[in-house]
Amino acid sequence: MPTLTPMPTLFTRIINREIPGRFVYEDEHCVAFLTVAPLRPGHTLIVPRLEIDHWVDLPPALLSHLMIAAQKVAEAIRQAFPSVKVGMVIVGLEVPHCHIHLSPIDRIGDLNFENQNSQARPEDLDAAAEAIRSAMAGT
């Protein structure tokens, strides 16, 4: 049985537009928005609307849906930020709300979370979000 979080998470507050977010995709089951501390430009989170902390507790249909959404967004990231791959990682230690990290990578070290840019400039994040949205509109 999934463990629901006791109060709205930071991500739920973003999903509900209580806190600003740079959305690049959304549907009835999930959203995708840029992280404010990217590993590289274009680093995006896929987040289910349902507050479930651990990805292994997601209902199978929702997990499948998140993977399909991640694939769509990753294709747009690949177009907007050419790289060797778009890496996908589920860590889940920062916020108790399941989320998938998607980031353009050229080497394995590009997925080292110790290298997050917590000083990313808002205008750079806005430009990255617009690049992904534009790529998604073209797919």
Using a cut of 0.85, tell me whether the model's pTM lies above it. yes
**pLDDT score, position 2:** 56
| pLDDT tens readout for residues 92-128 | 888 999 999 999 999 999 999 999 999 999 999 999 9
Per-residue pLDDT, 7? 73
Element (H, E) at 42: none
* pLDDT score at 75: 98
The domain limits of the chain are 10-137
DSSP per residue, 63-128? HHHHHHHHHHHHHHHHHHS--SEEEEE---SSSSS--EEEEEESSGGGG-GGG--TT--HHHHHHH
Q: Which CATH superfamily is domain 10-137 in?
A: HIT-like (3.30.428.10)
pLDDT at 122: 96
Give the whole-angstrom CA distance, residue 96 versus residue 135: 30
| Residues with active-site annotation | 99
Low-confidence spans in the chain with pLDDT less than 70: 1-6, 139
Give me the pLDDT at residue 139, please: 59
